[in-house]
Amino acid sequence: MQKYSGFGLLKHALSHHENWQRVWRNPTPRTHYDVIIIGGGGHGLATAYYLAKEHGITNVAVIEKGYLGGGNTARNTTIVRSNYLWDEAAHLYEHALKLWEGLSQDLNYNVMFSQRGVLNLGHTLQDMRDIQRRVNANRLNGIDGEVLDAKQVQEIVPIMDCSANRRYPVMGASWQPRGGVARHDAVAWGFARAADRLGVDLIQQCEVVDIQVEDGAATAVVTKQHGTIKAGRIGCVVAGNSSVLAQMAGFRLPLESHPLQALVSEPIKPVLDTVVMSNHVHGYISQADKGDLVIGAGIDGYNGYGQRGSYPTIEHTVQAIVELFPIFSRVRMNRQWGGIVDTCPDACPIISDTPVENLFFNCGWGTGGFKATPGSGHVFAATLAKGEAHELAKPFSMYRFYDGALIDEHGAAGVAH
Amino acid sequence: MFHIYCPYCEEHREEEEFHAKGQAHIARPPAPDDCSDREWGEFLYFRDNPRGLHHELWVHAAGCRKFFNITRDTQTYEIRETYKIGDQPAVSTNPDQ
Amino acid sequence: MTQKNRLQSGGRIDRTRPLPFEYNGKRYTGFAGDTLASALLANGVDLVGRSFKYSRPRGIVAAGADEPNAIMQLGASEATQVPNVRATQQELYEGLVAHSTNGWPSTEFDLMGYLGKVGGRMMPPGFYYKTFMYPQAMWDTYEKYIRKAAGLGRSPLENDPDRYDHVNQHADVMVVGGGPSGLSAALVAARSGARVILADEQAEFGGMLLHSDEQIDGVAAVEWVADRVRALGEMDNVLLLPRSTVNGYHDHNFLTIHQRLSDHLSDRAPQGQVRQRIHRVRARWVVLASGAIERPLVYGNNDLPGCMLASAVSTYIKRYAVVPGQRLVLMTTNDYGYRAAFDWQDAGHAIAAIVDTRTNPDGEAVSMVRDRGLNLITGAAVIEVTGGNRVSGVVIADIDEGGGRVTGKPYSLACDTVASAGGWSPTVHLSCHTGSRPEWRDDIAAFVPGKGVQQQLVAGAVNGSYALAACLEEGARQGAQAAINAGFEVDLEQLPIPSARNVEEWPAMPLFHVPHTKPTSRAPKQFVDYQTDVTAAAVELATREGFESIEHVKRYTAMGFGTDQGKLGNINGMAIAAKSMNKSIPETGTTIFRPNYTPVTFGAIAGRHCNELFDPKRLTAMHGWHQQHGAKFEDVGQWKRAWYFPQPGESMRQALDRECRATRESVGIMDASTLGKIDIQGRDAREFLGRVYSNAWAKLGVGKCRYGLMCGEDGMVFDDGVTSCLAEDHFLMTTTTGGAAHVLEWLELYHQTEWPELEVYFNTVTDHWATMSIAGPRSRELLAELTDDIDLGRDAFNFMEWRSGTVAGVPARIFRISFTGELSFEINVQANYGLYVWEKLFEHGKKYNLTPYGTETMHILRAEKGFIIAGQDTDGSVTPLDLGMGWCVANQKPFSYIGKRGMAREDCVKPQRKQLVGLKSRDPQVVIPEGSQAVDDPNQPLPMRMLGHVTSSYYSANLERSIAMGFVRGGHDRMGDTVYYPQADGTVIEAEICSPIFLDPKGERQNV
């Protein structure tokens, strides 16, 4: 594989960029794989990469209905942080954050992980109590975090209106300096390129229409374009379609699929250097390297697979942003879009074996999957390799919804991401 | 933004007056104490979540405060029917019917 | 400066109204009717910006929403800055101030341009993914420079002085676009009586007719437009919205229109006026008549100032009387493009050549060229232009019939303007917003709206019908059909269809990429998307590298990600990608357009819902009194609640200590009006309560009150409150302040969906009552002064009972309940008497040192008693047993109440759950910060094993020590144990686990 570097770029410039290699092959699927991963989004590609890299399992296919990284990977607002409340979630997301920190070098692909810090604002006394609780838990879990008062918040974000005369004045915030944003497409492409290099077959434009189950065990996937492909183990990583795939295998999941909308402004010169999130006024914002303000909020209340939501959600989100940043009132919104998020009742994911043997699911990340991409892939790869849950994945079994051991992150994940 | 017919008000109103409340026709088990953890978990959390026709519960929150059901396509967002609590849907989600 | 490119006559500008304006610090003059773009061109300004990646000089290309280059910073003051305004869409007004957005130190003299020339070759698509990785720590630095280079305009740094609003509209027929098709459709629909909205993004209706020589019904097109607009304007059932862009087409025929009310008048809206408005339209039927956008041709250096769209050239000449150059070369693939040359010639300017890429074109246009004696070159193309900051010449060469390669020897021709006409792309954007996929039509080499998924019709150019006669006819027919579909009558037999001459056109040639003698990778840059600096070579490289999905191509190259969202470039880019992969365009497909069609001001989307109106404020009847008495407030839900009442010079702690002491020693008063109150009536009300509360309600007698815990089906506590039995079939439930609405919906949910057989009715009465809680040993004495019809005696009016009577002569319900542990009465009166009764209490309260207190003192007093606050001491993961409130659970009730089964699940009954306990810090003066996390060993390595957090913690003046409540794993069995709370500053607070009831454990004080 060609190694990417500044020198390489110079070399290729001299030959008019005519000799760049393909980033990945376009293979014809084999008849049997040790592991088939359904879903070529960030999580699925990361799973494939770590299966090959960490576990030496390279007879692996990633089967993608559309194009690589075309689902929620392509549609999210790219926030990365690990300041979750409960130990189980905090450890999982911190595992991911640590992987983020060396990811560009590991993949030899610049995913533009930018640790510009994440502020979660508090606007009420109860918000501030919750922030204290969460930051204290983060600290004792070894995760960076600070509680800031309104004045300190103002210093970090001078353009935000932190005055007392707003409807819900900013009282303070939690601050995770190691949080930030990354370039979402690059994450998928970087994992894809690295997985391909290790021998993983990336099969695009291939839709799984059935999962074959014999004697309670999954044995193969049936695809629309390439027929039946046998597999030792199958990992399903299809955010936005998890319930549909589960139904093929004959069981249900504790999920609802909802539209999650986001929007961007026109590109403007750098004006916001960190990520600002507010559960209470319900919106969050960062500025992409391209200059767009990237904005989002919560899900639409109804189930929806349409990759679009309702206009009032956009209105409320923009209202929240203008309330926090009145100076953005004259800036203009360029475009909006929607993804499909599989939400779990406790706002935590499912990384789990299933009632069908050899079939594993990684789903239910709700609005916060992007930030977990490397960690999710890493623990799911271990789970698929060994046939039993990785230590960090154990609390995220789907069976917690029977015994009641939920990990209720609604407080920490209340606003999308 | 959806335009929703409230079967109680007998009028179309804007989505902003309503709240979606998830899958419809999930009855509380008549004898909860006889349920296993698994059965109770199924009732509490597990849902069909189909891509396609979905019978779902809504409430006219900023209107008559009545709960009612909608059969809606979760892919196209087309509303096929709305009907009162206690009524059965006329549009089936079962493709065999 | 003179307007050197302005014609002496013609155009739709008002030469009697000169308008001075400023661009990049220089003063210019235009005329009323100009856009900023036409005024700049009139003044001979070629250079309007620098491209963001290669820093190449750029000029105006288009005349409308498709303009990629003329992106301006507008605004005469800091507060009125608007970034990224398209000069082609900004009407000129007196005093307008604009700046170009890229270029350093200036657009005209740009140092970055040299860097772009040198470094440009280092910047193929996705170059940033391939570098800036090493060393890892340097990325922050690289990123800083990347960020600086990106972006276009800048945000204002002061608050917006303008206002925006929203209007909800209902239409039978919504017509999008006021060109020939839209005008035709609107008039037919309106004459049927249907309510019609006609919106167009431009200042004037008419679309392309405003610069057309054609005739309709025997009169000049502009006269026909004026007549139609006049007719529509006179009809009451028609709403005409000029300067209004339909930006989004949402589900169930909901559309949003962004109307600019004053952007054409001045820097900010005139006093008292709204700057912009969003119309939120619910339409029965929609007629899309949004027209089409001309495609530029992709050739070498096609971004040099002077390269323009042919239709834009016509627009500037005919509509604005501006000829944007002296000597023109027109390159076209179709007959329509010839019009630009004719207009140019008619304006008296020179034409170097008309280059038709078709091999043997022979239509009406060609014969007109011959009649006019123009230099026509066929079967050839402009393969590249030359020049520095402006076109100075072209290189022309013969090409083969398919347009795939150069067949002849290139030769040069001098000119200063190149107009290109590459055919038309229907404006399918709105149709795509609904989820409808556009369909490719080979015959017109363009995407048209696919099968509609909503009540939508299409007419005219958006439907691929470009000829004027066809537009007029389709408009009329679709307008009629929309009206009929919406329930109105139109006689289709007698439909008046405006007539226009049918022009015989020679078939157009699909040409998306003009070949060069060199391979694309080595040819001069051939721009596909100007704003994002995407070239044909970049698109080809992306596909070579394996980015084969059109979405990958778009994302890898950034094609279509500009503020114009690829209106000019997308189709060419897709076609180039398709060709380089040996696929057809429909096989390759198209990317999907999303709202907005053109950018919309955030302020307009927010409307009035910001500042004070961001969220409703709920105030109690006594709010004004609290303000007058210096209260600090806290937000609880939408309510403003008095938090504490500091006296002059008092710190918060001093105020709280005083309020707490006064209450325990004499009497305090709190405004409790915000607590949710739900009136519950009906034969089965009692049975219902038993099902939704965890404790028993069967035996609660009339006149009695009881505390209840409400759980979800998962067994987790979500609300609590006191419910009183007013009559055998009548109860009053109270809820937490923030939970009231949710509880009411919860009750309705269970009643309507699970137990409709129960006869019970719920009504919110929160706002009906003002509630004041007087607490303290002397509260009875105080109340006795104001009521003479209730026996307040200890044995006559027991704890947890209520009475009705009068207080200060006002009918009242009095509840002897207590959230402080003191003797306490909660007085409820009709809300509009609240302030009166409150003030009466104070009149009589002086001698008892009646002290108002707020939520903070309430929290302290209840914590002294170990009473929980749902939402503070619970978080959705806590059962009644976790709270140590087993006394509030009645598992012997015959009905399996909500929560019972949930709290019996395996995880909910396991030992070592986190349980609520009292906590005493070792140092009684140290208040453990709320949110602190307990550990057994503060010296263990990270991550530590945490036991639970402090939920409530205060300094208690009454106990002269700090007190706290919190969760500790298995805490109920650990009384007397020590736990440690490591703090952020490195200190550790040591605390002893104890009962959460710190004061009066036997409850004697409330029973006096």
Per DSSP, the residues of C501-560 read PPP--PPP---SS---SS-TTTSSPBEEETTTTEEHHHHHHHHHTT--SHHHHHHHH-TT
**Which residues are CB-contacts of C571 (< 8 A; sequence separation ≥ 6)?**
C295, C425, C446, C447, C512, C590
Picking from C250, C254, C901, the nearest residue to B32 by CB comes out as C901
The pLDDT of residue A254 is above 50: yes
Convert the pLDDT of each residue in C692-732 to its tens digit.
999 999 999 999 999 999 999 999 999 999 999 999 999 99
Which residue segment(s) compose the domain that C999 sits in? 862-894+909-1003
The alpha helices in A56-166, defined as continuous H runs, are 87-100, 103-107, 125-140, 150-156
* Residues across chain B: 97
CA distance C129 to C556: 10
Q: Among the three residues C107, C129, C151, which one is the final residue of a domain in this structure?
A: C129
Domain annotation covers residue C98: yes
Which two tokens mark C789? Answer: 């019809």
**Chain A residue at shortest CA distance from B14:** A312
Give chain A positions within 8 Å (CB) of B50: 243-244, 247
Question: Do you know the residue count of chain C?
Answer: 1008
Q: What mean pLDDT do residues C572-580 have?
A: 96
Strands (E), C399-481: 411-414, 417-421, 424-426, 439-441, 446-448, 456-458
What pLDDT does C673 receive?
Answer: 98
pLDDT-derived band at C113 (thresholds 50, 70, 90) equals low
Query: Quick one: pLDDT band at residue A414, thresholds 50, 70, 90?
Result: very low
Q: What is the mean pLDDT of residues C497-512?
A: 93
Same domain, C29 and C116: yes
Residues C340, C285: one domain?
no
Cα A8 to chain centroid distance, Å, stands at 31
Ordered domains of chain A (ranges, CATH): 30-82+84-109+184-255+346-403 (3.50.50.60), 118-179+257-343 (3.30.9.10)
**Domains (ranges, CATH) in chain B?**
3-26+45-84 (3.30.2270.10)
Of B16, B48, B74, the CB nearest to A304: B74
- Asked if residue C496 has a cis previous peptide bond (ω within 30° of 0), the answer is no
Q: Scanning every residue of chain C, which has its alpha carbon at the shortest distance from the alpha carbon of B79?
A: C252
Above 80 in pLDDT, residue C916?
A: yes
Structure tokens at A238: 């299809």
Same domain, C283 and C299: no
Contact C254 B37 (CB under 8 A): no
| pLDDT digits 0-9 by tens, C302-313 | 999 999 999 999
Residue B22 is nearest to which of A241, A253, A256, comparing CB atoms? A256
Determine the distance in angstroms separating the CA of B85 from the nearest CA of chain C, rounded to an integer: 6
DSSP string of C680-725? EESTTHHHHHHHHBSS--TTPPTTBEEEEEEE-TTS-EEEEEEEEE
What mean pLDDT do residues C27-47 have?
97
Of A297, A258, A262, A294, which is closest to residue A280 (Cα–Cα)? A297
Tell whether C107 is covered by a domain. yes
Same-domain status, C691 and C762: yes
Does the structure show a pLDDT above 90 at C1007?
no
HSE at residue A244, side-chain half, CA atoms within 13 A, is 22
Closest CA to C331 of C397, C252, C240: C397
Binned at pLDDT 50, 70 and 90, residue C519 comes out as very high
Tell me what pLDDT residue C125 has. Answer: 87
**Is the pLDDT score of C503 beyond 90?**
no
Let me know if residue C75 belongs to a domain: yes
**Nearest by CB to B75, which of A243, A253, A306?**
A306
The answer to the question of residue C594 being in a domain is no
Q: Which of A209-223, B40-54, C490-504, C835-849 has the weakest average pLDDT? A: C490-504
Q: How far apart are CA C313 and CA C296, in angstroms?
A: 12
Chain B interface mutation, best of A248, A315, A336, A402, highest count of B Cβ atoms under 10 Å:
A402
pLDDT at C106: 65
Domain shared by C399 and C441, yes or no: no
Does residue C59 share a domain with residue C115?
A: yes
What pLDDT does C115 receive?
60
Write out the two tokens for B48.
């069909």
**CA dist., res. C732 & res. C680, Å (int):** 6
One domain, residues C706 and C843: yes
pLDDT at res. C148: 84
| Average pLDDT of the segment spanning C505-523 | 96
Q: Is 80 exceeded by the pLDDT of residue C109?
A: no
C754 contacts in chain B (CB < 8 Å)? 27-28
Give the tens place of pLDDT for each residue, C927-951: 999 999 999 999 999 999 999 999 9
- For residues C213, C216, C218, C221, the Cα torsion angle rounded to the nearest 10 degrees is -40
Indicate the pairing of strand A146-149 with strand A172-176: antiparallel
Predicted confidence (pLDDT) at residue C114 exceeds the cutoff of 80: no
CA of residue C539 relative to chain centroid, distance: 32
DSSP H or E segment with residue A175:
strand A172-176
Can you tell me the distance from the alpha carbon of A300 to that of A297, in angstroms, rounded to the nearest whole number? 10
Decide if C142 touches B, using CB distance below 8 A.
no
* Nearest residue on chain C to B5, alpha-carbon basis: C252
Average pLDDT of the segment spanning A139-153: 98
Q: Which of A165, A258, A196, A176 is nearest to A68 (CA)?
A: A196
Beta-bridge mates of residue B13? B4
pLDDT tens figures, A234-243:
999 999 999 9
Of A73-77, C132-136, C777-781, the least confident: C132-136
DSSP states of A235-254 as a string?
EE--TT-HHHHHHHHT--BS
Q: Are residues C884 and C962 in the same domain?
A: yes
Predicted confidence band of residue C112 (pLDDT cuts 50, 70, 90): low
C252 and B33 in contact by Cβ < 8 A? no
pLDDT at residue C118 tops 70: no
Chain C within 8 Å of B43 (Cβ-Cβ)? Answer: yes
Is residue A337 classed as helix, strand or coil in its secondary structure?
strand
φ, ψ for residue C986, nearest 5 deg: 95, -15
What's the pLDDT score for residue A412? 55
- On whether both C21 and C169 belong to a single domain, the answer is no
Name the 3-class secondary structure at C340: helix
Q: What is the CATH number of the domain that holds C122?
A: 3.10.20.440
Q: Does C446 lie in the same domain as C407? A: no
Same domain as C374, residue C315: yes
**Using a CB-CB distance cutoff of 8 angstroms, which residues of chain A are in contact with residue B78?**
none
Q: Do B49 and A404 touch (CB under 8 A)?
A: no
Residues of A with Cβ-Cβ distance to C643 under 8 angstroms: 125
Which residue of A lies nearest to C531 if distances are taken between CA atoms? A267
C147 confidence band (pLDDT: 50, 70, 90): confident
In C, minimum Cα distance to A334 occurs at C599
**Angstrom distances, CA of residue C60 to CA of B47, C49, C57, C305, C309:** 56, 9, 11, 7, 9
A252 touches chain B (CB under 8 A): yes
Q: What's the mean pLDDT in C9-37?
A: 97
Please write the tens of the pLDDT for every residue from C786-800.
999 999 999 999 999
Residues A274/A279/A281/A287 CA torsion (nearest 10 deg): 20
The answer to whether the peptide bond before residue A138 is cis (omega within 30 degrees of 0) is: no
Task: State the DSSP string of B11-32.
Answer: EEEEGGG-EEEEES--PPPS-G
pLDDT, position C146: 85
Q: How many angstroms separate the CA atoms of C31 and C20, rounded?
A: 8
Which tokens sit at C211?
């610069």
Determine, yes or no, domain membership for C539.
no
Average pLDDT, chain C: 95
Contact call for residues A12 and C544 (beta carbons, < 8 A) = no
Q: Measured between CB atoms, does C932 come within 8 Å of chain A?
A: yes
Could you read off the pLDDT of C820-868 as tens digits, one per residue? 999 999 999 999 999 999 999 999 999 999 999 999 999 999 999 999 9
In whole angstroms, give the CA distance from residue C386 to residue C411. Answer: 12
Sequence-distant (6+) residues with CB within 8 A of C340 are C310, C311, C313, C314, C328, C330, C419, C421
Q: For residue C250, list chain B residues with Cβ-Cβ distance below 8 A.
A: 1
**Hey, is the C-beta of B34 within 8 angstroms of any chain C C-beta?**
no
Sign of CA dihedral A107, A111, A114, A117: negative
pLDDT at A416: 42
Same domain for C109 and C62? yes
pLDDT tens profile A84-117? 999 999 999 999 999 999 999 999 999 999 999 9
Q: How many domains does chain C have?
A: 5
- Average pLDDT score, chain B: 95
Average pLDDT over residues C658-686: 98
DSSP codes, C776-827: STTHHHHHHTT-SSS---TTTS-TTBEEEEEETTEEEEEE---SSSSSEEEE
Find, in chain A, the residue whose alpha carbon is nearest to that of C81.
A330
ipTM of the complex: 0.97
CB C740 within 8 A of CB C673: no
Cis, peptide link before residue C648, omega less than 30° from 0: no
How far apart, in whole angstroms, are the C-alpha atoms of residue A95 and residue A84?
12
Phi-psi region at A5: left, alpha or beta (left = phi > 0; alpha = psi -120 to 50):
beta
Residues 282-341 of C with CB under 8 A from B: 282
Q: How confident is the model at residue A7 (pLDDT cuts 50, 70, 90)?
A: confident
Amino acid at A100: W
Q: What is the mean pLDDT of residues C188-193?
A: 98
3-state secondary structure C183-244: HHHHHHHHHCCCCEEEECCCCCCCHHHHHCCCEECCEEHHHHHHHHHHHHHCCCCEEEECCE
Give the domain CATH number at C866. Answer: 3.30.1360.120
Q: Is C94 within the bounds of a domain?
A: yes
B32 touches chain C (CB under 8 A): yes
Gap between the Cα atoms of A284 and A304, Å rounded: 22
